[in-house]
Structure 1
């Protein structure tokens, strides 16, 4: 979630920031230390708390009757010395914190703000701070059905996609003219690389290649082979001036890398710092450094290009170090063995040799092999003490009899967290005899790079986008219902007086199948921004003698989809026909539309539905029964009937040339500018 505040007159002055490592639940003591540091070295403008702020979740009944420091903080009973921004580290967040975040949008108490798991914040000084919380697990990263929320310790492809989508938005002050805002939006739609730059990036994990080309000594050699590979691509795109990470070892250790330069960005300089945890025990007689103070000047076109630091190294993200060559057959036969050293090898050993037996014993049954290395954490259950193959949850059974999913997985067909999609009764309902599909017959799910609505898809029709917010964007559809440009010839010109036609889609930036499947802990800001766009569109339509009809087809399927709400202006003279026409058409489709006065749909998250918001503010919902026919163009068919333009049912037949689409976009943006909540 990106917030923006107008820059002050002192924007060109350096901003003084204190960054601290994981508090691991020692909140009161950390704030006491921060207050002392600020008194001695301040005044600081704000504090960035990276890593685990609350620490591991406590067992039920171990909270001291609600008087632990987390509850004290949420109740405002702990003194906060400076404005603090915190993030999710390597543990799930407490339920009470998630609930407070959902209610307030991030403000946990006075001067303590929880950043979105993947989002951007623009400070009052004009600094752009990006956050990616959670930890990287290769299996969960690629299999998660939706962005894991705060209740999961992991991040996924969807989390990263959401972060990069949000970085596309340039911050703009309230003092900017409308022309400047349009210019910024144009650069967004053109996917300008400069629009993704951030000043500060905070993450829990390290990027995979950060140690390359560095001569700074590591506290542990294993750091050179660890790290989250997806973070490398994030850094290549956002090019942070400062990058702070928390999970540098167990316990975390301090490490500061030499700066490196982005030659394609006028010599932009990046610095990476990993901090130790606050209050960590001393190792080797010395406690790891857990705080870092620095000053940074907000970006400005008038700022001179930075000078290249004398200790700058090659950029590890653009000049990857070559991998060592593979060992050849001759290497093995010459007697050099990577496990046992330089051992004479007179010839190839038979498979049944004594050596082979001993080696097999070492791999499979040696007691020493059963012990995980120090600091090892099982990637299945995220707990130490055992190897993956010995994990007690490895063979856990889900609610439908198949394997139990890893934390963070959500079935795209029914939104359950208790089974994989191949074991889902909804996904498999239409199969003969109720048998599950074989792997060869499974329907391939839609990924973000294939989805028509994901901003990361290079084939997305970006020229149709008219507004981008923090959580959602608004776009004209291909082949809108309202006839415009060359399609308006021969049609009733009074169908809509909204410039550009007015038929638009409100689309969440993050990939979710339907609005009803968005996880509860991340849903509030998405729903709030959707409602803001709805209110703005109602006001725009009203200014052109029309009312808004919103509809969503929440169709769950094995392939999944991407949630979106369609908004169509209906002339005021036709508003009285809307409800009755929807209900009569619903009967034709062997279903009934029920009055629904609450935002929560009856039937729970695992149901398909059709929802329409009437001009008077009431909502009608039709629950789509399994196996029952229901056309995805139902809403469009009803509205073309109301508007008296039945030939506009098929969107493909209504498509315009790109130049005419761009003319509609320009006209709509000009009319929407004074109503747009993203400005």
Structure 2
């Protein structure tokens, strides 16, 4: 997974082409996400480093070209943990791609077995008596979002691989701790050391970059876990959390040489110093210059970064972040100067953060204030929203899921009420939504280095639905409302079946005529043309012959989000089904439609 640096362009390109397979048996995981092994182990990851300002103020999810993770990155991970997945049997996909998940009828659990992160959680050393590898461990300030992930997912094992600009990763294993609300579920934390950096000899305390352990899939019917004898209070739930007492490592091997403090003498604790102030003991070597005369914190070479290091603020080599000449640079309003590429959401300026923006501050000072941005817990389409209509979900992959909408336009249980309607006989109605699991406002706002696997799975779902409709005498019409509103939304594409008797020209004429009545215009795009949007809102229709119709929204000119449904219900001869709220069914009928669709779609589903 990604660590503390941007990934090179060739690696990102390889990821985009193969959905993760870099070479034989080497796979790059997403910046965040979840996979489930064939044995049922749930493994989640969160790559990148934590910066509070970037985390809270990032306008878009952080891709591989950024070393940081944002709130959207964490939201994607938590959304994935709400799903239950199994390994696909498809022989046409790579091993990584075969981890696409299939939604189960039972309510999903957020519990995971293994969590991999580059960043440390806050308070991990609290309430622990395990000896720390150094006085400045952990090397980075803890990340609150990582701690929140742990509270939500309660991993059985958590592995951290990160260091910082001045410290290499170091091995440290914490005592286990338990979750009282999960029948005594046990969690274990391990910080892994840096590969190849002074591995220990055959005897003595080791600084390991590897860790071997046994784990079996969680069995909810099994007896509660037995409390480990060395378990500590839970540092993520205890009320009075304090940092544990630090002490140097003991040498467990009598007389064996210690890799850091020199030769031992039984179980006697080793002194770090020779008795002289600021002088290391025998056998110690500075990890930067390998000198035995000073500690790493006193190393004169500490001020110089290693070859290949690039400052994360100015993207220039030759100095650490702490010494960056533009670290304290100010923007046009006197606040901190934004990083390169940042754009204020309130006024579009690149010269200040939104919290320093006079337009944003003026808006906040007004009585009403700007529209509140939709959060995942409020979004109808985020899987992390506990109120999402999970009973309507009919398929879920690694990047997207397919769901029936509430109040779909195709009548099912009351189809006899529309004798004049031209409704295709697709099981469950057939009107569905393809929704990216991650929260993006539109498909066009997905970061370029993260969009290929999402677009690939979306197109595979489109192809599968086309074959599914064709088997029932229908063809697909898909459309997306790409509205760049202040509140934001969740990108999705609607697809509905329409009889094969409709030609693409007739369908296009229906959209164009309705648009003219609303003062709107459409442009044609050929099937091979690249998708474009820029910073404009749009409404895009995919015709059965592969051509596309696009309407570009204009500032201040209203455009109905129900425009696509409005056109299709008129073409199908049932205009009274324009308002989805008037078409809502009972949950029992919705479940029956979803089950009917899933059973018929199963042999076409690309995730199976």
Tell me the secondary structure at the aligned position of residue 295 of structure 1. Answer: coil
Deviation at 1:381, TM superposition (A): 6.3
2:596 is equivalent to residue 667 of structure 1: yes
Counterparts of 1:417 and 1:122 in 2: how far apart (Å)? 41
Give 1:592's aligned residue: 522
Counterparts of 2:232 and 2:143 in 1: how far apart (Å)? 21
Deviation at 1:582, TM superposition (A): 1.8
2:586 is equivalent to residue 657 of structure 1: yes
Deviations 1:474-515 (A, max 9, x none): 111122111232475245465131122111111111111111
2:244 is equivalent to residue 244 of structure 1: no
Give 2:456's aligned residue: 528
Counterparts of 1:252 and 1:173 in 2: how far apart (Å)? 33
Contact 2:474 2:498 in 1 (8 A): yes
Contact 2:421 2:572 in 1 (8 A): no
Deviations 1:557-615 (A, max 9, x none): 2222211100011011234521221222233333122224346334x431211111111
Give 2:377's aligned residue: 449
Give 1:234's aligned residue: 149
Deviation at 1:205, TM superposition (A): 0.9
Q: Which deviates further from its counterpart, 471-480 or 560-569?
A: 471-480
Counterparts of 1:410 and 1:552 in 2: how far apart (Å)? 25
Give 1:22's aligned residue: none
Counterparts of 2:433 and 2:7 in 1: how far apart (Å)? 33
Deviations 1:155-212 (A, max 9, x none): 1221111112212332324579xxxx9996222xx3x43xx33332110111113222
Alpha-carbon spacing, 1:536–1:413, altered in 2? closer, same or farther (3 Å): farther
Give 1:676's aligned residue: 605
Counterparts of 1:240 and 1:645 in 2: how far apart (Å)? 51
Give 1:638's aligned residue: 567
Counterparts of 2:392 and 2:304 in 1: how far apart (Å)? 50
Give 1:313's aligned residue: 232
Deviation at 1:392, TM superposition (A): 3.9
Contact 1:477 1:505 in 2 (8 A): yes
TM-score normalised by structure 1 residue count: 0.68
Counterparts of 1:159 and 1:541 in 2: how far apart (Å)? 35
Deviation at 1:554, TM superposition (A): 0.8
Alpha-carbon spacing, 1:165–1:418, altered in 2? closer, same or farther (3 Å): farther
* Structure 1, unaligned runs of 5 or more: 1-86, 325-372, 429-434
2:184 is equivalent to residue 254 of structure 1: no
Tell me the secondary structure at the aligned position of residue 472 of structure 2. Answer: coil
Deviations 1:443-492 (A, max 9, x none): 32222222222222233222322222111111111221112324752454
Higher helix share: 1
RMSD: 3.9
Contact 2:139 2:163 in 1 (8 A): no
Q: Which of the residues 142, 158, 164 maps onto 2:56?
A: 142
* Structure 2, unaligned runs of 5 or more: 91-99, 244-301
2:212 is equivalent to residue 294 of structure 1: yes
Contact 2:476 2:544 in 1 (8 A): yes
Deviations 1:98-153 (A, max 9, x none): 12211221122333221111012334554332110011122222222232101111
Give 2:277's aligned residue: none
Q: Which of the residues 15, 22, 30 maps onto 1:116?
A: 30
Tell me the secondary structure at the aligned position of residue 231 of structure 1. Answer: helix
Alpha-carbon spacing, 1:416–1:548, altered in 2? closer, same or farther (3 Å): farther
Counterparts of 1:153 and 1:182 in 2: how far apart (Å)? 28
TM-score normalised by structure 2 residue count: 0.76
Alpha-carbon spacing, 1:541–1:656, altered in 2? closer, same or farther (3 Å): same
Give 2:547's aligned residue: 618
Give 2:112's aligned residue: 198
Alpha-carbon spacing, 1:404–1:542, altered in 2? closer, same or farther (3 Å): farther
Q: Which deviates further from its counterpart, 161-170 or 638-647?
A: 161-170
Q: Which of the residues 213, 216, 221 maps onto 2:127?
A: 213
Counterparts of 1:404 and 1:601 in 2: how far apart (Å)? 33
Counterparts of 2:596 and 2:338 in 1: how far apart (Å)? 48
Deviations 1:195-244 (A, max 9, x none): x3333211011111322221112222564993111112212233222211
